[in-house]
Amino acid sequence: MPSQIVLHQPESEKIIRYSLNNSIPVAEELFQKLTEKGYNFLRNHRINNYSFDFYCPSLKIAIEIDGYAHEFSDVHNQDAPKKLHIHSLGITVLRFTDHQILVDIEEVFRALKHQIKLSTKSIYVV
């Protein structure tokens, strides 16, 4: 009986493939849920040289969906200047993994509602 060679993908490779294959459907799902709940976010919005998955100008809240690539230090280091610049513009960035969006979308909305509450409290008239 001939022997069969079975190649097993390492776990990390499976995770990378899953993340790459599902990043667009995850963004679609989040956009659909945001719209259903009455949130007005723009998709793939650019601010200066930086792009965000979702952005709400009236609340100055951006949402980024982090896939597996954001786990690498070089990608994380590239995000540092973006964080500083965006913070200087008064924009809050909420970051969620694609896994969080797929598995616990309600937690994503709890975090969003909390940030909206904080954002609206900081607006005052002098």
Fill in the amino acid letter for 61: I
- Say which residue, 99 or 120, is predicted with more confidence: 99
Domains, the chain, ranges and CATH?
Answer: 11-121 (3.40.960.10)
Q: Classify residue 50 by its DSSP letter.
A: E
Fill in the amino acid letter for 48: N
pLDDT (tens digit, 9 = 90+) per residue, 100-117? 998 899 999 999 999 999
| Phi, psi (degrees; rounded to nearest 5) at 9 | -75, 135
Most distant CA pair in the chain, distance = 85
pLDDT (tens digit, 9 = 90+) per residue, 42-93? 999 998 888 899 999 999 999 999 875 444 445 556 667 777 778 888 999 9
Q: pTM of the entire structure?
A: 0.70
